[in-house]
C-alpha cells in the first residue's frame, strides 16, 4: 500500500515545533535593535497572501493547476517570511497594549484571539494540503483544501485587521 501521508511525521513535528518556538521566542527580549518598521510590512504580506489565495482558488476553479501550485508555493513562502518578521519584531520591541474602549475593544480581542488560534491550527492544515498535492493525492488534497482555504484566508485577512486596529497605539 502506498504511503498516503509521506510527510506526516515531519508535518506533525513542524505543527508542534513552530507554535512552541514562537511562544518561547516571545519571552525572549533582545534590546538595542529597532524593528519597529516591520508591522506594516508583515501586515502587507498578510494582505498580499489573502489576495493570492483568492487568485489561487480562482485559478484552480478554471483548471489552471500550474498557476494554482505556483501561487500556493508563493503563499507558503510569504507566510514563512511573515512569521520570521513577526517574531523578530516581538523579540526586539515591547508589547503594544490595545487602547480602544467599548464595543470596538471586544471586537478587537475577538478578532485577535480567533486570528491567533486559527493561525496555529492552519499550519498543519496547509502542510497536509500541500503535501497531498505533492504526493499526487489530489482527491484527499481537494477534500482538505475545502477547509484549509477559508481558514488560511481568514488568518491572512484578520492579520491585516489586527494591524489596522492596533497601529494607532504603536509608540
Sequence-ordered alpha helix ranges (H) in the chain: 8-26, 38-61, 65-92, 103-134, 138-166
According to the model, what pLDDT value does residue 3 have?
A: 62
Whether 153 has a pLDDT exceeding 50, the answer reads yes
For the chain, list the domains and their CATH numbers: 35-169 (1.20.120.80)
According to the model, what pLDDT value does residue 159 have?
A: 97
Give tens-digit pLDDT for 86-119.
Answer: 999 999 999 899 999 999 999 999 999 999 999 9
Dihedral (Cα; 63, 49, 126, 115), 10-degree rounding: -140
Q: Quick one: what percent of the chain has pLDDT higher than 90? A: 90
Buried b (16+ CB within 10 A) or exposed e, 29-40: eeeeeeeeebbe
C-alpha grid cell, residue 171: 509608540
Contact partners, residue 117, CB within 8 Å, separation at least 6: none
Residue 113 has phi, psi (to 5 degrees) of -65, -45
This prediction has a pTM of 0.92
Whether 1 has a pLDDT exceeding 50, the answer reads no
Amino acid at each position: 500500500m502506498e504511503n498516503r501521508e509521506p510527510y506526516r511525521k515531519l508535518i506533525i513535528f513542524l505543527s508542534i515545533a513552530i507554535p512552541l518556538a514562537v511562544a518561547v521566542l516571545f519571552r525572549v527580549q533582545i534590546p538595542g535593535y529597532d524593528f519597529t518598521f516591520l508591522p506594516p510590512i508583515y501586515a502587507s504580506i498578510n494582505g498580499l497572501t489573502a489576495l493570492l489565495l483568492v487568485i489561487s482558488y480562482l485559478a484552480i476553479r478554471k483548471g489552471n493547476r500550474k498557476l494554482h501550485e505556483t501561487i500556493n508555493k508563493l503563499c507558503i513562502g510569504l507566510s514563512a517570511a511573515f512569521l520570521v518578521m513577526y517574531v523578530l519584531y516581538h523579540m526586539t520591541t515591547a508589547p503594544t497594549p490595545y487602547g480602544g474602549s467599548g464595543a470596538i475593544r471586544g471586537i478587537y480581542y475577538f478578532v485577535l484571539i480567533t486570528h491567533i488560534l486559527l493561525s496555529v491550527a492552519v499550519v498543519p492544515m496547509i502542510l497536509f494540503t500541500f503535501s497531498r498535492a505533492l504526493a499526487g493525492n489530489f482527491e484527499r488534497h481537494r477534500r482538505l483544501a475545502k477547509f484549509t482555504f477559508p481558514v488560511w484566508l481568514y488568518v491572512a485577512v484578520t492579520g491585516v485587521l489586527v494591524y489596522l486596529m492596533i497601529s494607532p497605539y504603536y509608540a
